[in-house]
Structure 1
Amino acid sequence: MDKLDVIIESIVRHQENVVGPLAIEQANEVDGVLVTDDGKVRVTLKKTSSPKKVLESLVKRYEMLFGQASVEVCKDAIKEAGVKIDAKELPEILS
């Protein structure tokens, strides 16, 4: 699992703890993210997308529905994912 997969899975799980199954529904609306029926999170990047863009789309999706508190949940999820990631790899919304 690469660090993007770990980060996105952590975000989805943290959001799921807050808003329940709606977190999975919303993640599945993001192009490049799929949460399967067995709960596995899969990230597929197209040639035209970047890890940063997929991450930004996911966070903005949660923010649109649940506000700034959901962005803070995403930031916490990244910290708790245990993955080293440079700030420049993160979208501005997570700075």
Structure 2
Amino acid sequence: MEREHKNQHDEIQQQYDMHFAHEQLTYRYFKEMQEIRKKDRQQMKKINEEERIARAETMYQLEDGQYFIKNGTLMYKLSSKDIVAKASVH
């Protein structure tokens, strides 16, 4: 009788161990997938930013080339007389 009880206990322990191992594998899998998705998002963000900057450079090149890019946004270096002239035209 004691032997049957021990066998039953061993079976329950094995089931628990299997369940615990499965949970550990699942957690590790989702953690790795999360890291992969994060790296992919960062890479796509970087590629999109580079493409946006390249498009801005090709679309908005000034004749004298007086512009710079700040935080992915095109900024112009205009003299005050150019700003006044542009404002008065419109």
TM over 0.5: no
TM-score (norm 1): 0.22
Higher normalized contact order (CA 8 Å, seq sep 6+, divided by chain length): 1
Larger Rg: 2
Structure ranking higher in helix proportion: 2
